[in-house]
Structure 1
Amino acid sequence: MKKQITTLILLASTIINAQETPNDSIKNNIEPDQSLNEVVLTGTMKPVSRTESPVPVEVYTAKYFKTNPNPSLFESIGMINGIQPQINCNVCATGDIHINGMEGPYTMILIDGMPIVSALSTVYGLNGIPNSLVERIEVVKGPASSLYGTEAMGGLINIITKDAAKANKFHADIYTTTWLENNVDLAYKFNIGENVNSLLGVNYFKYANKQDKNNDNFTDVTLQDRVSIFNKWNFKRENNRVANIAARYVYEDRWGGEMQYNKKIHRGGDKVYGESIYTNRAEVIGMYQLPTTENIYTQFSYNYHEQDSYYGADSYHAKQHVAFWQMYWDKVIGKHSLLTGATFRYTLYDDNTPGTLNYDGTKNMPMETPLPGIFVQDEITFNPKHKLLLGYRFDYEKNHKGIHSPRVAYKFTPNKTHTFRASFGTGFRVVNLFTEDHAALTGSREVIIKNDLNPEKSYNGNLNYVYNKTFGFGNFNLDATAFYSYFTNKIIGDFETNQNQIIYDNLDGHAVSQGVSVNADIVFQIPLRVNLGVSYIDVYRKERNEEKILEKTQQLHSPKWSGNYSVSYTFPKRWMVNLTGNWYGKMRLPILENDYRPEYSDTYMLTNIQVTKSWNQFEIYGGVKNLFNFVPKDPLMRPFDPFDNNADDPVSNPNGYTFDTAYNYAPLQGIRGFIGLRYTIR
């Protein structure tokens, strides 16, 4: 490892010394934050500055995520207040993304406005998006189903990739860690003639260093070998009409398990435990503005996802196709900015579990879900101080029939310092039962749908206040949001009534997500910038017990208190220091009956520090992650008997414990150093 780092430093120094000029310096002041003037797309599906948007949208640029580099967006997204990337398995590191405490299936992930990452592929789809191709990330918290349909129930994350015409000619970002995690991120722009620009990105991540710091004979971190190729094309047309298309391919080989596990020998066997997952994924997205006098746009996306995996001796092999098409008309009439369109989404899903068999289990029946919809939105600007947004969407699903999703938002801006927003909306989710509960379906249980399932619905209201003012010391921006969401018809699986069945039914009760989120951004006249965020979130459900009395149950993996921080200071001669981190309060964890492990986690903090030196075209950076070396204790139940061969022994296991991998609340990776190099040709 020392040899790797020394070679990287010598290479960087050689190139840098050849490029540095004696006049290279940096100013000792920082301009006031201009983020409120950034153009956003996500809230209303049309470009508008953040200050003018009636829907609160949070924007995070690629520069923000460079203060704590990570090999995937799944890890980077945790730097955003109120968003929690949650690992749900300590062995294979599968997980999901929580917005305001809601589980992953309630979060919609978009790439350039297209619902490209969903259901089966939520985590694996985010891994392997080259960070060098990301322009910014836009976040809307709360239901957005009136524009984006199913899954946009708890919120959405829109990953905006760079415009090929405006991107740098070449960019490389290479780094390694003391755990021997190696990441290469490359982007190259080229032109074909005067009217075609293309941006090609390649990401390669390799981690093959088995580590067992907690001595439970299991890998602390999942081993990964991943390659991702992304190519985006922009076409110049008359009158600046839009035309672009992009494609991405991802292949990943990941596994975790006992330290003596060998994929070639033990994969799918019952002697040495391991969880091995091969992922093949392909995506295509595009947008085309029709050559008409009116602003009419059509968008499309398609993704294919194949997962070939073994969880111990249990096989799970699934394929999913998702096609999406959308056309909309953007028209301004007086004070009204209208948007209306039609959408169609088609999902085909198949796997090797009982979930895709017919009723008597004799024939394979892949699930097909067509979902057509229409939507309309009217943004009314009464005057510079008052703006009203009205929206409505109608979708038709073959089982749930017609689904209505209205929303209303109001913005009041008395002056440049204060902005008030209030909104109310509904969200819905057409549940794909089997892609979300595949681990439970790898056995021989019979799947029972007790009643005609109604779609899950949510009713959300939030109040947002933004304060932005420049003082003598610098610029201060405060963004505070209070939210309340009420969920009905939550679909749950009953695994306990009959050990040979899984019984699905709508929740006899309701669920609630409520809380307050505050972000503060301070840009000082000296070269210092501070970002602070804190969230209080209370997520629970109430369901009727056998006595028909409502009982309250706190949401798993949802801390009531959490926060993030980022402090950046720029020294002369382009030296910069970044201190970043997250902290989480106690969260409820999935425990077994008579479990000796505590039901609630510890309060903990993950802190990182980075030092960066910049030249004209180069940056060299390095630092320490998890500075205080926090690692959870005893995450695995009975790691010495992963196949439960002796689970029924009343002498050695009087409590009837079974092997369990779901007790997780923080990474098992302790303190580690990292060093990297960036090179850019503009």
Structure 2
Amino acid sequence: MRSKIILTFLTLLFGTMVMAQTGTMRGSVRDVKGEAIAYATVSIPKLKLGTSADSTGKYELADIPLGTWQVQVSYMGYDSYFTAIAVSNALPIERDFTLNIGDASLGEVVITGTMKDVSRLASPIPVEVYTPSYFRKNPTPSLFDAVGMINGVQPQLNCNVCNTGDIHINGMEGPYTMILIDGMPIVSALSSVYGLSGIPNSMVERIEVVKGPASSLYGSEAMGGIINVITKNPLSAPMLSADVFGTSWGEINADVGTKFNIGNATGLLGVNYFNYKNKVDNNDDNFTDMTLQDRISVFNKWNFRRKENRVASIAARYVYEDRWGGEMNWNKSFRGSDEVYGESIYTKRAELIGLYQLPVKERIFTQFSYNWHDQNSYYGDVPYMATQRVAFAQAYWDKQIGANHDFLLGVAMRYTTYDDNTPATASADGSKNEVAKTPLPGIFVQDEWTLNDKNTVLLGYRYDHDKNHGNVHSPRFAYKFSPNNNNTLRASFGTGFRVVNLFTEDHAALTGSREVVIAEELNPERSYNGNLNYVLKIPTESFFLGFDITGFYSYFTNKIIGDYDVDPNQIVYDNLSGHAVSRGVSLNTDLTFTFPLKVLAGISYMNVYQMREDDLGVKEKVVQWHAPKWSGTFVASYAFPKGFSADFTGQWNGPMRLPIQPNDYRPEYSPWFCVANVQVTKKFDKGIEIYGGVKNLFNFIPKYPLMRPFDPFDRTVDDPVNNPYGWTFDTEYNYASLQGIRGFLGIRYNLF
């Protein structure tokens, strides 16, 4: 009896000791380069147990009960890492973690702000970086749609019929945004309207965004900001990737990429195909709510292995697109006629990009790009036929002088030819056609001076010579102060310039829906710009909070803006008698918890206007079209066990001023609205993902998209009884897509 009691006691005591026994896990958290990630969070969400790494990336998580638990490792700017650990005794578990640069990271290494590879933290120019995984939280068929997830970047549809558009940064129109591919100015002018679609997602490594002036490095058109599409290095790309999805509206998008080796070269081939052939007219105006499209884009890039790791690459892309929108009974037999209204656009585009580092001791790089754009289009019975060729080449010397000076010296040449069937290329007397030829040579210099480990100064200057407008000077100054890793202050100032060609960049000027009146010879636009940026990181044991706030101000001494108010049938362009201002504040926040929830949110306030002088010399304030004072974006992501995740994304806009006609029944300002989306993703083994969800969850659709859709050729405009105000057919009243709520389903596959 006594032995049974002793045995029972020992059993209970041993069980209590086992239950009370806990384990410890310790190690380090580093990035893919092996550098420590200070203050990273290591946690077991189910147990509400967590800790933070120290300044050297080392951590220790104690008091872990025996069992198998899911561990989460996270830090701002990196993908969260999840793994299972088994705690079976009190012996410490040694476990190191490596985090990959993630969605909100505004990337570790950037090139756009200074034209050289630098740490984003060390760059004196604020650069935002977004990877494809960020845009996959709301899958879209084109870059044009995807960048709407970036705070302060607004994809603006310019036509309710053909659905063409451009990208606004900080409220400034599309022509002020320069689109680069691998640092080369590949999308601009004519293609700013039609060339933003069809860039295969399989080729994109990341997208870098610089908001504000960059003319000192990139020249004309870089007045509002830069979107630089960095393509993948074929050496590190997957062997095979595929992403295919469709929507309940009948849209099909397929993106496929593969790589292969030939000798000392590695090639990357990407193909994007988008098709939409479903006529939808939910608002019953007898016009298609969304343009029908058939587009294919083929991209091929080669990287070459050279001695001493010198770089060499060449890439080419070809895009063909057939799009049309119009009356529901339109077909191609009516193209260019005045029987049934339709807007039909055939676009062919070819691009070539190259980079070569010279085989010399100094770091000297040469770059070139060439793009050819051919457009065959009809807007009703008004033809617009245009061909544009842009050749660009530059060479620059990247030199480290001493320990504190990072010097850059370069020369550049851009040569543009443009031909169309409008007055833009007619001779002075209008008797013949003359191809516009515009050479633009330039030279630029930049010095990044590291005063000490907390202070950096950047000085830049660019000189360009335009054959029509003479010498153009573009200086730039930037300053960065970082007292520690959690606080960074940046200030920058620069000037910008742009030579305007209405018929290559302003959709309203070429559609024929209004007569274009050029009141005088148009001078170059010039601006003075300033930015102030502050980044704050707040790491804690239970969450990480980051703030990125920027104030911006641009002052234009001349700005070319279409005046829609003079006559409902005209757009009048002339030099600005007065000045224009674009100013505001943009705030981005990043909140990462120890449990698998991450929230990104941004809000922008903009005040964009012109001060014009009337005929009596009195200045009046005119608010710019399509520039909402308030706008924002949000992304909330949660990772569930067993490979499931959910994303809730959206963009919202406050009221924006719209072009209206005299005595118009449509309001001059759009309403507040939000376009939200939800997605669920399941990850399987061997690189397979299935995803699906709902777009435009709240089913927001603009009212009054078209004026007088029953008379698109204005045959009965002069009817004082039925049309007393003289309203005319107009497609420019636009502030959001006419696509309502729709479901989507897709599959991804990656083989490394």
| C-alpha separation in 2, matches of 1:232 and 1:123 | 25
Are 2:450 and 1:384 aligned?
no
The match for 1:87 is 157
| C-alpha separation in 2, matches of 1:441 and 1:70 | 28
Shift of 1:474: 2.4
The match for 2:74 is 31
Write the mapping of 1:163-178 to structure 2, written as runs, cut at 5 A: 163-178=233-248
Deviations 1:577-635 (A, max 9, x none): 00000110011011011100000001000000000000121000000000010001121
For the 8 Å contact 1:354–1:447, the answer to whether it is kept is no
TM-score by length of 1: 0.94
Residue of structure 2 aligned with 1:556, choices 625, 638, 649? 625
| C-alpha separation in 2, matches of 1:460 and 1:446 | 30
| C-alpha separation in 2, matches of 1:317 and 1:576 | 48
For the 8 Å contact 1:30–1:528, the answer to whether it is kept is no
For the 8 Å contact 2:158–2:507, the answer to whether it is kept is no
The match for 1:582 is 651
Are 2:437 and 1:368 aligned?
yes
The match for 1:318 is 386
The match for 1:207 is 276
Shift of 1:132: 1.6
Q: Secondary structure at the match of 1:414?
A: strand
The match for 2:370 is 302
The match for 2:4 is none
Rg (Cα) greater in structure: 2
The match for 1:253 is 322
Letter in 2 for 1:676: G
| C-alpha separation in 2, matches of 1:281 and 1:431 | 22
| C-alpha separation in 1, matches of 2:120 and 2:666 | 46
- Percent sequence identity over matched residues? 66
| C-alpha separation in 2, matches of 1:553 and 1:642 | 29
The match for 2:494 is 425
Deviations 1:434-467 (A, max 9, x none): 313465467797975634x432111111110001
Letter in 2 for 1:536: Y
Gap runs ≥5 in structure 2: 1-67, 78-104
Residue of structure 1 aligned with 2:675, choices 591, 606, 610? 606
Shift of 1:287: 0.4
Cα distance, 1:600–1:372 mapped onto 2, change above 3 Å = same
For the 8 Å contact 1:286–1:299, the answer to whether it is kept is yes
The match for 1:357 is 426
The match for 1:278 is 346
Cα distance, 1:101–1:238 mapped onto 2, change above 3 Å = same
| C-alpha separation in 1, matches of 2:603 and 2:595 | 25
Are 2:734 and 1:664 aligned?
yes
Shift of 1:359: 1.4
| C-alpha separation in 1, matches of 2:730 and 2:563 | 19
The match for 2:59 is none
For the 8 Å contact 1:582–1:606, the answer to whether it is kept is yes
The match for 2:291 is 222
The match for 1:643 is 713
Q: Secondary structure at the match of 2:694?
A: strand
Residue of structure 1 aligned with 2:595, choices 522, 526, 531? 526
The match for 1:68 is 138
Deviations 1:233-254 (A, max 9, x none): 0001001101000000000000
Deviations 1:649-679 (A, max 9, x none): 1111111000011101011000000000001
Are 2:239 and 1:196 aligned?
no
The match for 2:56 is none
| C-alpha separation in 2, matches of 1:538 and 1:446 | 27
| C-alpha separation in 2, matches of 1:435 and 1:621 | 39
Residue of structure 1 aligned with 2:251, choices 172, 181, 184? 181
For the 8 Å contact 1:357–1:365, the answer to whether it is kept is yes
The match for 2:749 is 679
Gap runs ≥5 in structure 1: 1-24
Residue of structure 2 aligned with 1:566, choices 614, 635, 638? 635
Deviations 1:146-172 (A, max 9, x none): 000000001111010100111011000
The match for 1:55 is 125
Q: Secondary structure at the match of 2:724?
A: coil
Letter in 1 for 2:359: P
Q: Secondary structure at the match of 2:433?
A: coil
Instruction: Report which stretch shifted further, 493-502 or 138-147.
Output: 493-502
Letter in 2 for 1:526: F
Shift of 1:31: 1.4
Shift of 1:503: 6.7
| C-alpha separation in 1, matches of 2:253 and 2:715 | 39
For the 8 Å contact 1:446–1:502, the answer to whether it is kept is yes
| C-alpha separation in 2, matches of 1:601 and 1:274 | 26
Q: Secondary structure at the match of 1:78?
A: helix
| C-alpha separation in 2, matches of 1:177 and 1:428 | 42
| C-alpha separation in 1, matches of 2:171 and 2:158 | 14
| C-alpha separation in 1, matches of 2:564 and 2:599 | 48
For the 8 Å contact 2:564–2:659, the answer to whether it is kept is no
Cα distance, 1:47–1:460 mapped onto 2, change above 3 Å = same
The match for 2:533 is 464
Letter in 1 for 2:610: R
| C-alpha separation in 2, matches of 1:126 and 1:189 | 24
For the 8 Å contact 1:354–1:441, the answer to whether it is kept is no
Shift of 1:27: 4.7
Letter in 2 for 1:129: I
Q: Secondary structure at the match of 2:398?
A: strand
For the 8 Å contact 2:165–2:194, the answer to whether it is kept is no
Letter in 1 for 2:699: N
Cα distance, 1:209–1:445 mapped onto 2, change above 3 Å = closer
The match for 1:16 is none
The match for 2:220 is 150
Letter in 2 for 1:537: M
**Higher RCO structure (Cα 8 Å, ≥6 apart):** 1
The match for 2:484 is 415
For the 8 Å contact 1:32–1:474, the answer to whether it is kept is no
Cα distance, 1:373–1:26 mapped onto 2, change above 3 Å = farther
Residue of structure 2 aligned with 1:292, choices 355, 360, 384? 360
| C-alpha separation in 2, matches of 1:430 and 1:496 | 24
Q: Secondary structure at the match of 2:116?
A: coil
User: Alignment RMSD, CA only?
Assistant: 1.8
| C-alpha separation in 2, matches of 1:408 and 1:314 | 47
Cα distance, 1:567–1:500 mapped onto 2, change above 3 Å = closer
| C-alpha separation in 1, matches of 2:590 and 2:439 | 44
| C-alpha separation in 1, matches of 2:475 and 2:675 | 40
For the 8 Å contact 2:660–2:666, the answer to whether it is kept is yes
Shift of 1:470: 1.6
Cα distance, 1:555–1:449 mapped onto 2, change above 3 Å = closer
Are 2:677 and 1:634 aligned?
no
Deviations 1:10-53 (A, max 9, x none): xxxxxxxxxxxxxxx99552411233661000000000111000
Cα distance, 1:499–1:620 mapped onto 2, change above 3 Å = closer
The match for 1:267 is 335
For the 8 Å contact 1:427–1:458, the answer to whether it is kept is yes
| C-alpha separation in 1, matches of 2:595 and 2:571 | 61
For the 8 Å contact 2:106–2:128, the answer to whether it is kept is no
Letter in 2 for 1:274: G
| C-alpha separation in 2, matches of 1:214 and 1:63 | 35
The match for 2:7 is none
Cα distance, 1:26–1:348 mapped onto 2, change above 3 Å = farther
Shift of 1:215: 0.5
For the 8 Å contact 1:30–1:523, the answer to whether it is kept is no
Q: Secondary structure at the match of 1:29?
A: strand
Shift of 1:431: 1.4
Letter in 2 for 1:333: I
